[in-house]
Structure 1
Amino acid sequence: MSESITAVLVRAAEFTASGKPRQAIDLLRPALVANPLHAEAWCRLAAAHLDAGEPDPALDAAKRALVLDGDQAWAQRLAALSLSELGRQSEAVVAARESVRRKPTDWRCQVVLSEVLAADPTTRAEAVDVAHHATRLAPTEARAFQVLGDAALRARNWGTAERAYRTALRLDPTDDDIRANLATVRRKRGGGAAGAPTATSGPLPEEVLNAAHAIAWQVASRVAALLVSGGLLLLFAGMPRPTPLLGWFSGLLVLGTLALVGRTVLFARKTQRLALYRVTRHRPKLATVTVLFAVTLLLLTAWTTALFLGATTMQPLVFAWIISLVAGSVVVLVGQGKPRR
C-alpha cells in the first residue's frame, strides 16, 4: 500500500505542477479514504484545493495534516495561505509564524510569512524584511525575489521592488506577471509621489491576480455546468418545435447565469473586484472561456427574444449549447494554469 500511495502522490504532484488541481483532488480523495493517516497526502490535497481556488477545503485538509506525524511546517504554510484567502489575516499570520519557527531555514516558510504580513498595512515593513531573508536563503529561486518585489511594491519601496523584480525576471524570464509588475514599479518610481500605487491604476500585484484568477475559474466551472445542463434541457424541451413558453425558461437560464457572475463580483473585496475586471488580460485561457460564455449568452438572449416574437427555430440554441460545451471542456481539461504551491 505504501508503494500505491507513493505513486498517487507523484501523479498528484504532476497534475498540480501542470495546472490541473482538480485532477489532483480527484486522485487524492480516494487514496486518503484508504490512507487517512498519511500527512503528506493531506498536504498535497490542501495545496491542490488552494490552486483550485477552494480555501475552505484546503484549510480542512491542512488541519488534518497538522494532527498527524508529518511535515508540520508545510501544513502550517498551507493553513496560513488558506486562512489568508478566507480573510482571516490574524490567524494566517500566527500559522505562518509557526511554520517559520518549525523550519527557520526553509525559504518557502519565509515567503508565506511575507505574503500574509504584506496584506496588513501595519506589517508591510516586516514583510519586506522577511522576504529579504527568503532571498538570502534561496538566492536562485525566482519566487522568493518575486514575493520581495510584491511586498516592497505594497510598501511603496520602489527601489527594492524594482531590484527584486529584475532579479526574479533574470531567474525566470518567462514569467509575464513579473515583467508586468516590473513595468508598473518603473512607471511609478519615475512618477515620484504622484505615482503612488492605487487600486485603480497599473497592473496589480501577482498575489491579487492569482486570487482573482482562482475565483474567476471557480465561477467559470459553475457557469459551464449551468449552461451545458440548462442548454441540454432546453434542447429536449424544444423538440420538435419550440413555443414562446420555452422562452421564459431560456430567459431564466440567462438571468441565472448573470446572477451567478454578478453575485461573485458584488461580494468580492474592492481589490479583488478590480482584479476580476483585469485578470483576463493576464490569463489568456480564462479570457478565451469568458468570450465563449459571452457568445453563448448573446445567442441565448437572441433566441429567447425570437421565441417571444413567434420564431420556431432551434439553430441559435444548438449553436449556443455547442459553444458552452466547448468552453466547459476547456474549463475541465485545461485547469487554472500555473500552480502556486
Structure 2
Amino acid sequence: MTVTIYDVAREAGVSMATVSRVVNNNPNVKPQTRKKVFEAIERLGYRPNAVARGLASKKTTTVGVVIPDISNAIFAEVARGIEDIANMYHYNIILCNADKRKEKEIRVINTLLEKQVDGLLFMGGVVTDEHMQAFQTATVPIVLCGTNVEGNTMAAVDIDHQQAAHDAVKLLLDKGHRRIGMISGNLQDPNNGFSRYNGYKNALEEAGVAFDESLVRIGNHRYESGIEAMKYFLELPERPTAIFSATDEMAIGAIHAAQDAGLAIPGDISVISVDNSRMASMVRPLLTTVAQPMYDIGAVSMRLLTKLMNKENVEKGKVTLMHEVIQRQSVAEV
C-alpha cells in the first residue's frame, strides 16, 4: 500500500502539518523533531506526492524541453547544459523528442503544458503559426533554445547563424578558393538552412564572386545526404575546389565520398562546416568548422527561463552567443 503523510505523522508522533514543513524544508521545525520525521520517512519508505505538492504551491518545479532529434549529438550537448543549470536551481526536466516533425512538436508542447510544467524550452527548426498559437496560449514562460524567429518577441538564446556561415566561407575565400559548393540544410529552416545559406551568398558577394545556384545542394543534416551532395559535385564538368557544409555530419559524409572517389582532403578539395560536434575531431583529416557553444546555449537558456519563472528582472530577452572558427586540417590554400 502507498505510504501517506498521515502514516509518517503517526510513526513519528507529530502532526501532518509538521511532516509537511519538514518535507518542504521549512526552517521552523526543531532539529530533534526534524530528525524523528526523517527517520520515520526512511523506515516507511515514504515519497512525497509531487503532484499534490504542485497543486498546493502552484509550482511543479518541472521544466519541459522539446528536442528535435535526440540521436543528434549537437542537441545532446544542449540538453546537458540545460540539465546542469536545472539541477543547480532544483528543477527537474521532462525531455521530449519531436523527430523534427511539426505535428509531433505541437502535440508535445501541448502535452507538457497540460502536465503543468513551470516553464518550457523549445529547440526546433521552423516555428510556424501553429507553434506560435500553442506558445501564446501558454500561461508559463517559454524560451526558444538554439532557435529564433525573426520579428518575434519571445525570449531566445542562439548564435548568429548567418554570420557563422559567412565566416566559414570567408576563410575559404581567404585561402584563394573561388568555386565553392554548399551543402545546405532545408531552406525552410530559418537557422541551419536559410540563415546559413544567406551567409554563404553574402560572403561570395562581398568577395566579388558570382553566386552559382548549381553549386548548392539541399541536404537533410544527415551523413548520407553529405555523401550524395559530394557525388553530385564530383560529377560536375568543373568541380568545386572547396565545400561549405551547413552541418558537421553532412561535411563528414562529403569527406568520405571524396575519399572513396580517390581524392585527398584537403589536397584535392577542401571542406568546412558549422557546429564543431565531437565528430569533427574524430574524422580524418580533422574537420575545420565554426563552433557553436552548444552547452552554453542550453545553460543560458535554462538560466533565462529560471529568471522568467521566478519573475526576476531580465535585461535582455534575446541573447546571441559568440561563435568561433576552429581551424584544423580539412582546408588548404589553392
TM-score range normalised by the length of the shorter chain = under 0.3
Q: Relative contact order, CA 8 A, sep 6+: which one is greater?
A: 2
- Normalised to the residue count of structure 2, the TM-score between the two structures is 0.26
* Higher Rg: 2
- Normalised to the residue count of structure 1, the TM-score between the two structures is 0.26
More helix by share: 1
More strand by share: 2
